[in-house]
Amino acid sequence: MKHLDQFYINGGWVKPSGDAKPHEVINPATEASEGTVYLAGKADVDAAIQAARDAFESFAATPLEERLAMLEKIMGIYQSRLDDMAEAISREMGAPRHGLAAKVQAPMGLGHAKATLGAAREFPFEQKLGRATVRREPAGVCALITPWNWPMNQVMCKVAPAIAAGCTMVLKPSEFAPLSAHVLAEIIDEAGLPKGVFNMIYGDGAEVGPMLSSDPRVDVVSLTGSTRAGASVSKEAADTFKKVSLELGGKSANIILPDADFEKAVKHGVASMMNNTGQSCNAPSRMLVPADKLAEAEAIAAKVCESLKVGDPADKDTVIGPIANERQFKRVQSMIEKGQEEGAKLVCGGTGKPEGLETGFYARPTVFSEVNNQMLIAREEIFGPVLVMLPYKDVDDAVAIANDSDYGLSGYVYGASEEDAAKVAARLRTGMVHLNGAQLDPPAPFGGYKHSGVGREWGVYGLEEFLEVKSVFYSA
């Protein structure tokens, strides 16, 4: 890839400074190198922030329609490069090329741009309130820190509203998923966004995150990542009173009500959990099942896992690709071992790689049953193809188990009546709830309670994260 060893700063590709360090990009399906990126040092971070700072005043004054026209131009070029984006995502993090990468991962980035465009056109940037005019203005220079599991989904749900709001930015994508971010930088460069509005550096999150979060020239930090990363960003940003938006982890409960179409509900829950190789913060990772139906749920789950093809992301019939990197593969393996040590019943899967897939970071779709909420596998986010089943006595017990978690990102309820499922949803302490297999919708807010984060992304709610509110009081 052209310019893979360069950063995008102040409207052009630039060589890293002397203190930047090389980082090999590994294809998780082959364990072979895809190339080398450089991890930014202090001088690179400083240059990117300063470019964004210098560009802010001019870009913030740009009329809304001009900013939205820029976003539309980016969308058009993005559309023309969907195949390139899908290929990059598949190579960097292992999503099945012809399925998940092409049909969901790459298009989600474009979907967020469209949702932002619609939200911005209807948004009340200025409104009367009594004798005052309330204005919503660009929040400033934004540090955008994104993960490897849904690369363009997470990048574009920050970049698009930042542009629409009139902010300038420094994007720090995951060093494990730099290829798709590189394609986006090429798209933005071709679209001709003003110099300094969009800047991109690669970097180690633990090293670069604190530099971005603590710098007084940065006004907003928007991070998607682990709770540990969220706590670090919050602490580093505190001294300069930055606006901080955090989309963190989850351990979402999937409550299957006693009257649900049981086979349909269990099949959907297992398949949803294994989607993206289980590497989704909102995955339904805790399946809550009536105690008297636990054995039936186990049998259904085992059959579903047997039917899911784990394999090369390039194969058209692959459903589950590899885990995105070696570090995460090792964590998933250790958590499966922990589940067995804790005494959970292994229904299917287990440690090790599937037969015939010795090369690549492939994991076996795994289901544990007879799990309780005191077990580590029920409390910690595993972030791999591992589902845990917990029995419950009645609906009150199910709600209590679901809410007994440090996390509160998402929830799932499956029942014969969607109205009854909605009553259970109202009792869950989560930022989102899916009823009877309902899918996400980009205009609706994404985010959670408790350790799952602060603030919301997507649509109108995502746009608001990049705006400040000003009251202008008139004498008459």
Give me the helices (H) in 97-255, please: 106-122, 151-165, 178-191, 205-214, 227-238
Determine the residue type at 178.
Answer: P
3 state SS of 4:
coil
Dump the DSSP string for 330-357. HHHHHHHHHHHHTT-EEEE--SSPPTT-
3 state SS of 414:
strand
Pairing of strands 286-290, 386-392: parallel
Length of the chain: 476
**DSSP 8-state symbol, 337:** H
- CA–CA gap between residue 259 and residue 146 (Å, rounded): 40
Active site residue 57: no
- The two most distant CA atoms of the chain are separated, in Å, by 78
At residue 130, φ and ψ (nearest 5 deg) are 65, -130
* C-alpha of 446 from chain center: 10
CB atoms within 10 A of CB 441: 12
Question: Which helix (H) or strand (E) covers residue 86, if one does?
Answer: helix 82-93
Catalytic residue among 175, 247, 381, 464: 247
**DSSP 8-state symbol, 315:** S
3 state SS of 139:
coil
Catalytic residues: 247
